[in-house]
């Protein structure tokens, strides 16, 4: 079984997702897991139209893949939670109508906190310090989970400006939490959340957040991605840098 893992997109769905179309067909990808953080990009958090455009694009793209028998799963990132709870952060858009729209789309696609694939535990930030996923983390979220999400989002680790010693699954920093406070119960994990120059692996803790931009919208990562192929991780190069540089140079972000 082949699983394509797609990290943090941050409102760049409409030019990143097409990169995978040929790969999915040619490599016969069976499953796709998104690692969360679909929303919010530096300097663009007031651009309401961009939020609608990118969630609509992603929604249609996923429905199309599912129609072609690809099993697509969505995980939840810290940048997605404010649109479910309406507790907005300084980096969120703060429009209730937009939040209702996003929540409807995410719940109808189905979204969860973590998933296990070929003995790898996949989540947005990771489970550090021997923390164990709760049962509800593996299930599709719904309205009844909102209060639990509020608690999860309010418990921030020191690594990301909070007071908890170690970040939880939503906030866990790859370098400062997961690699420092390991997890003997889950020694194989795949996460996004912490921008990387390239796909990074330390003792089978993989961080694949290679699509993130600097605060001045300069690409930080090289756009590599991974496919889990029957338990083996294959790192693949993409033409992400060409595409993102063209978009940025020609100012195609709306
Ligand atoms: Mn992110």
Q: How far is the CA of 28 from the centre of ligand 1 (A)?
A: 27
Q: Are 33 and 52 in contact (CB under 8 A)?
A: no
Q: How far is the CA of 63 from the centre of ligand 1 (A)?
A: 23
Residues in the chain: 254
Whole-angstrom distance, CA of residue 198 vs CA of residue 216: 19
Q: How far is the CA of 139 from the centre of ligand 1 (A)?
A: 22
Question: Tokens 């959340």 — which residue?
Answer: 193
Q: 141: CA distance to ligand 1 center in Å?
A: 20
What's the CA-to-centroid distance between 11 and ligand 1, angstroms?
11
Report how far ligand 1's centroid is from the alpha carbon of 210 (Å): 10
Distance 23 CA to ligand 1 centre (A): 23
CATH 1.10.1060.10 assigned to 2-249: no
Q: So where are the chain's domains?
A: 2-249
**Ligand 1 mean position to 16 CA, how many Å?**
15
Q: What is the pTM of this model?
A: 0.97
Of 60, 72, 192, 86, the residue nearest 143 (C-alpha):
86
pLDDT in tens, the chain (254 residues): 999 999 999 999 999 999 999 999 999 999 999 999 999 999 888 899 999 999 999 999 999 999 999 999 999 999 999 999 999 999 999 999 999 999 999 999 999 999 999 999 999 999 999 999 999 999 999 999 999 999 999 999 999 999 999 999 999 999 999 999 999 999 999 999 999 999 999 999 999 999 999 999 999 999 999 999 999 999 999 999 999 999 988 877 76
């Amino acid at each position: 079984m082949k699983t394509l893992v797609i990290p943090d997109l941050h409102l760049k769905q409409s030019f990143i997702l097409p990169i995978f179309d040929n790969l999915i067909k040619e490599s016969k990808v069976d499953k796709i897991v998104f690692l969360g953080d679909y929303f919010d990009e530096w300097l663009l958090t007031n651009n309401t139209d961009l939020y609608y455009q990118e969630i609509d694009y992603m929604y249609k793209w996923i429905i199309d893949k599912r129609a072609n028998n690809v099993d697509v799963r969505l995980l939840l990132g810290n940048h997605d939670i404010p649109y479910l709870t309406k507790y907005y952060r300084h980096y969120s858009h703060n429009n209730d109508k937009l939040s209702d729209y996003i929540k409807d789309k995410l719940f109808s696609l189905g979204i969860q906190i973590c998933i296990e694939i070929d003995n790898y535990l996949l989540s947005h930030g990771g489970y550090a310090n021997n923390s164990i996923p709760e049962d509800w983390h593996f299930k599709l979220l719904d309205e009844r989970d909102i209060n639990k999400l509020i608690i999860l989002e309010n418990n921030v680790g020191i690594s990301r400006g909070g007071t908890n010693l170690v970040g939880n699954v939503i906030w866990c920093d790859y370098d400062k939490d997961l690699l420092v406070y390991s997890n003997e119960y889950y020694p194989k994990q795949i996460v996004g959340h912490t921008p990387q120059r390239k796909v990074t692996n330390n003792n089978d803790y993989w961080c694949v957040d290679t699509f993130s931009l600097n605060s001045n919208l300069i690409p930080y990562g090289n756009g590599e991605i991974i496919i889990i192929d029957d338990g083996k991780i294959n790192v693949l190069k993409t033409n992400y840098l060409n595409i993102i540089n063209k978009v940025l140079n020609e100012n195609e972000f709306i």
